[in-house]
């Protein structure tokens, strides 16, 4: 095994220590792909993995609707409640924030490593979810834009 694998191995160790199965499986999968010599898959995973993950996550969130556990009537009632209205506003804001994160990560790829380290620490030791880099990128983009306003 080459030294090129060391960052992934360190992340795997952190994930195991932090008892985070999703990060452990993701890293183990990437290491397996790399060790099997199937690195031609990496560009596909990089280009389409995020979208595939969001699709699967969205399917999981919508499953109660598909199962009939939540009806259209239940949804309408929820929209009229304070938590329902707040959830709509927060959902709009977070989706916009994630989009800002995508733009930021494309424009500042050097920040990706820092966001990933922060996300791994949050996932492994604070029982967070690995959806953090996009939201974190959006927050960093907003903070950087605010700092740029004050430094000009």
pLDDT at residue 103 above 80? Answer: yes
**Residue recorded with tokens 């699967």:** 56
pLDDT score, position 1: 58
Residue pair 99/138 in contact by the 8 Å Cβ criterion: yes
In tens, the pLDDT along 51-88 reads 898 899 889 989 998 999 988 888 888 888 998 899 88
Distance from C-alpha of 8 to C-alpha of 61, rounded to nearest angstrom: 30
Q: 3-state DSSP helix/strand/coil percent for the chain, to nearest 5?
A: 85, 0, 15
> Averaged over 121-126, what is the pLDDT?
81
In tens, the pLDDT along 10-55 reads 888 887 887 778 878 988 999 999 999 999 999 999 888 878 988 9
Distance from C-alpha of 150 to C-alpha of 19, rounded to nearest angstrom: 42
Q: In 3D, which of 51, 108, 53 has the Cα closest to residue 136?
A: 108
Distance from C-alpha of 51 to C-alpha of 22, rounded to nearest angstrom: 17
Of 135 and 25, the one with more pLDDT? 25
pLDDT score, position 67: 93
pLDDT score, position 44: 93
pLDDT score, position 139: 87
Distances (CA, A) of 60 to 23, 39, 130, 148: 18, 29, 15, 39
């Amino acid at each position: 095994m080459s030294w090129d694998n060391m960052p992934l191995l360190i992340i795997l160790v952190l994930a195991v220590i932090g008892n985070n199965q999703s990060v452990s499986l993701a890293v183990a999968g990437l290491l397996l792909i790399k060790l099997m010599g199937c690195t031609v898959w990496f560009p596909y995973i990089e280009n389409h993995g995020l979208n595939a993950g969001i699709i699967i996550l969205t399917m999981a969130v919508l499953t109660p609707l598909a199962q009939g556990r939540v009806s259209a009537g239940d949804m309408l009632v929820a929209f009229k409640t304070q938590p329902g209205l707040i959830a709509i506003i927060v959902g709009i804001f977070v989706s916009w924030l994630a989009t800002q994160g995508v733009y930021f990560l494309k424009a500042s790829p050097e920040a990706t490593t820092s966001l990933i380290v922060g996300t791994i620490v949050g996932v492994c030791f604070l029982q967070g979810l690995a959806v953090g880099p996009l939201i974190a990128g959006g927050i960093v983009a907003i903070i950087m834009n605010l700092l740029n306003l004050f430094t000009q």
